[in-house]
Structure 1
Amino acid sequence: MSRFSESERDRIRTQLVEDGSELFARYGFDRTRIKDVTESVGIGTSTFYQFFDSKEALYVAVLHAERERLESRIDEAVSGADTPREEVETMLRTTLREVRSNPLASRLIVEGELQLLYEQLSETERQSIGPDARETELPYASRWAAMDEVRYDDPDLISGLLRSLIFVTRAQDSPIGALAVSEYEAVETALIETIVDGLFVD
C-alpha cells in the first residue's frame, strides 16, 4: 500500500517529470541516472519505482510532456496567423526555433526518440503515458490538406514534407560543410519560403 496520498503522488510524479526533463536535457539519456533524478526530487531510489518502472518509462513521459509543450507553443504562435500560408510558415519557424534551442525538442523530433523508446515499454506503461505517443501526423496537417489552395490532399504527405525540413537543423553541426550561424539562418529562411511556396497553389 502506498504511503502517499493521491495529491502527493501527483505532485511527486509531476516533479519527477520536471526534474527529469532538466537532467535529460543537460546530460542526455545515457548519462542521467535514476539516482540523479530521485536526489533532485528528494525521494529514495526505491520510491521511484512506485511511479515509473524504469528510466526509459520516465524518459518517455518527459518526451511526451515536451511534445505537449511544443504543440502548445505552436498553437499559440499559429493562432496569430491571418492566412493558411502564414500558419504553415509560422509553424515551421516556431518548430525549427524550438529544435535549435531545446535539446529535448531536437531528440523528440529529429532523433525520433519518443517513438523508439515507446516500442520498448510494456502495454501498462504505454497506457499510463498516453496512447497517442506514436502519432506521426503534424498538427493542422488534416485541416490544411482539406483546403483548396493547398496543392496536396494527403495529411501524411504534408506532415512528411514539413517534417523533412526539420532536418536542416543538423547542417549547423555537420562534421562536413557545417554552416556558420548567418549561413544557416539564410538557408533556413530560403527553405521555408520554398516549401511554403510549393505547398500552395497560386
Structure 2
Amino acid sequence: MAKFTENEKEQIRQCLLNKGKELFIKYGLDKTSIDDLVQACGIAKGSFYKFFSSKEELFYVIIQQQEEIKNRLIGEHMQEKLPPKELISSFLHMAFAMADENPLLQQWFKEGVAERVKRKLPKHLVRDFSQDHTQDGIAFVEALIQRDVFKEQSPEVINGVLHAIMLLRLHKEEIGAELFPKVMSVIIDYIAEGLTKS
C-alpha cells in the first residue's frame, strides 16, 4: 500500500470528503460504492481504509460537517434582536428549512438510514459526537438563558426539548409531506411560547 506524506493524506481526505459529498448527493448512500469514491479521487481501494472504515463513516463525517455549517448559520441568526418567542420560533423554522433544503440531511432523515449508518461506525465516533453535540447544545441554551430568552429551567431539559423537536423530522413521511409543515408550525408555536419569557 502506498505511503503518503502528511500533505498528501490531507489532500486525499479532502478529496474523499468533497467527492463523497457530490456522489452521495447525486446517487445516494446506497448506490454510491467505495469503488466510485476511490475512482473519483484516483486512489487504490485499499487506501480508502486508511482514512475511513466504511462509506457509512465517510457519509457520517460529511453529515457532521453539514451540521456544523447549519449550526453556524443558526448561531448568526440567533444574534438578531427579536422578542424571545419569535426568536425561538424562527430558530426552529430555520433549522427545519435547512434540513429540508439539504439533500444529504434529507437522506439522513429517511427511515432507518441514521440507525443503519450508526451501526456501521466505530463506537467512539458516535459517542464522541453525541457528547460534543450535547455540550454544544447546552452551551447554546445557557447563552440564551443569559439573554433572558428562556424561562429559568434546566439547560439540559431545554436542549432535550429542542433536540426532540428536530427528531420529529424522522416522522415526516408518516405524518404526510403536505401536512407535516402545518403540524410542525403548531408544535413550534406552542414550544416557543412554553419555553420563553414573555
TM range (shorter): 0.7 to 0.9
Q: Which residue matches 1:113?
A: 114
1:1-202 residue pairs with structure 2 within 5 A?
3-106=3-106, 113=114, 117=118, 120-121=121-122, 126=125, 132-135=128-131, 136-137=133-134, 138=137, 140-145=140-145, 150-170=150-170, 172-174=172-174, 178-180=176-178, 183-202=179-198
Q: What is the Cα deviation at residue 122 of structure 1? A: 6.1
Q: What is the Cα deviation at residue 16 of structure 1? A: 0.5
Note closer, same or farther for the CA distance 1:60–1:107 as it changes in structure 2 (3 Å cut). same
RMSD of the TM alignment (CA)? Answer: 3.4
Q: Which amino acid aligns with 2:122?
A: L
Structure 2 CA distance, aligned partners of 1:78 and 1:114?
Answer: 30
Structure 2 CA distance, aligned partners of 1:64 and 1:36?
Answer: 21
Note closer, same or farther for the CA distance 1:199–1:162 as it changes in structure 2 (3 Å cut). same
Q: What TM-score comes out, normalization by structure 1 length?
A: 0.74
Structure 1 CA distance, aligned partners of 2:51 and 2:74?
Answer: 30
Structure whose residues are more often helix by fraction: 2
Confirm or deny: 8 A CA contact 2:84 2:197 kept in the other structure: no
Structure 1 CA distance, aligned partners of 2:127 and 2:11?
Answer: 22
Percent sequence identity over aligned pairs = 24
Gaps of 5+ in 1: none
Q: What is the Cα deviation at residue 20 of structure 1? A: 1.4
Q: Which amino acid aligns with 2:36?
A: D
Note closer, same or farther for the CA distance 1:114–1:64 as it changes in structure 2 (3 Å cut). farther
9-18 or 107-116: bigger deviation: 107-116
Structure with bigger RCO (C-alpha 8 Å, 6+ apart): 2
Show CA shifts across 1:58-105 (max 9, x none).
Answer: 223222222212212212322334454444223212210122222432
139-148 or 64-73: bigger deviation: 139-148
Aligned length: 193
